[in-house]
Amino acid sequence: MNIYSEVTGNRTNDKGEQLLTIKLDKNIPGYMLERYLDENGQLSGEFTLFDNRIITAPQRKKIHAIFGDIVKATGDGKSDYDIESIKYDMKLIFCEQEKIKMFSLSEKSKTCTVTLASQFITFLLDFCMEYKIGLTVPPLSLVEDIKHYLIKCLHERQCAICWEHGEVHHVDTVGAGRDRKHIDHTKHELMCLCRTHHQESHTIGQITFAKKHHVLGVVMNDEQFKKLKYKG
């Protein structure tokens, strides 16, 4: 049962638990509430917040920058028609993949939220990475979902900093004398770095490296690590 609701209150109780007051668009009959009780007499459900924020100017700038790079890789990079056709094609593929309606990047249309724009930017970066499309600006300056991005770089073996061919780098040290083939890599922070940036991380130290490039390592779960196909 899905019912539209409005959050009218927000407070924290003595236990530090957040309590929201929700006004439903329509009342739920008592017999329906009883029907959904579990064996312990408790009622539970899933709460979803809608993003009412509209795509921001920086997000639009990122999207159009990526469009420009895709055009340069596939056409002459000068035609406005190329930009519009790439925009349409990318939105169409994305919408079919996510099973959503077509949207506009215009602020006036109010059909693209901040969340949707973030997901679209992630999709575009994945596309560029998979098809080896170079970017004119540092990739990290475009990223919205940093964890997804770092894992994608690891899977594609592309340096998270410059997109050159990279190798798996342990951000936190494994320890001298330990066999990398017999350690649990899901307990360690990983990052894909090319030889140049890998050497830089060792030369200036990981803390300085992280501050310079504004990036940390990522911990992968079992499924993500298996896809990595890393033997140590």
pLDDT score of 80: 61
- In this predicted structure, the answer to whether residue 190 has a pLDDT above a threshold of 60 is yes
Q: Would you state the pLDDT for residue 111?
A: 95
Q: Classify residue 155 by burial, with Cβ atoms within 10 Å: 0-12, 13-18, 19+.
A: middle
Strand partners, 158: 165
Indicate if the pLDDT at residue 189 is higher than 50. yes
The pLDDT score that the predictor gives to residue 20 is 92
pLDDT of residue 178: 44
Helix, strand, or coil here: 158? Answer: strand
Whether residue 137 is predicted with pLDDT greater than 90 in this model: the reply is yes
Q: How many residues does the structure list for the chain? A: 232
Q: How does residue 176 score in pLDDT terms, banded at 50, 70 and 90?
A: very low
Q: What is the pTM assigned to this prediction?
A: 0.80
**How much is the pLDDT for 120?**
98
- The pLDDT score that the predictor gives to residue 175 is 45
Share of the chain above pLDDT 70, in %: 90
> Which residues, including other chains, have CB under 8 Å from residue 154's CB and lie 6 or more apart?
168, 190, 191, 192, 218, 220, 228
192 within 8 A of 166, measured Cβ to Cβ: yes
Give pLDDT, residue 151.
95
Is 181's pLDDT higher than 80? no
Q: Which of 10, 36, 35 is nearest to 23 (CA)?
A: 10
Question: Cα separations (Å) of 25 from 10, 20, 48, 52?
Answer: 18, 16, 15, 18
Neighbours of 216 (CB within 10 A): 15
Percentage of the chain beyond pLDDT 90 is 59
Rounded Cα distance between 21 and 11, Å, is 9
Looking at per-residue pLDDT, the higher value among 194 and 1 belongs to 194
Enumerate the H helices of 111-189 as residue ranges: 114-130, 146-156
What pLDDT score does 208 carry?
95
Q: Where are the chain's structural domains? A: 1-49, 57-139, 146-228
7 has which bridge partners? 22
pLDDT tens digits for 69-124?
Answer: 999 888 665 666 688 889 999 999 999 999 999 999 998 899 999 999 999 999 99
Position 18 scores a pLDDT of 93
Distance CA 7, CA 75 (A): 49
Specify whether the CB–CB gap between 138 and 179 falls below 8 A: no
Max intra-chain CA distance, the chain: 68
180/135: higher pLDDT:
135
Please report the pLDDT score of residue 36 as a whole number.
85
Q: How far apart are CA 164 and CA 223, in angstroms?
A: 25
Residues with Cβ within 8 Å of 86's Cβ and at least 6 positions away in sequence, in order, are 67, 70, 71, 74
Q: For 29-85, how does the pLDDT look when each residue is reduced to its tens digit (9 = 90+)? A: 888 888 888 888 888 888 888 888 999 999 999 999 999 999 988 866 566 668 888
Mean pLDDT across the chain: 88
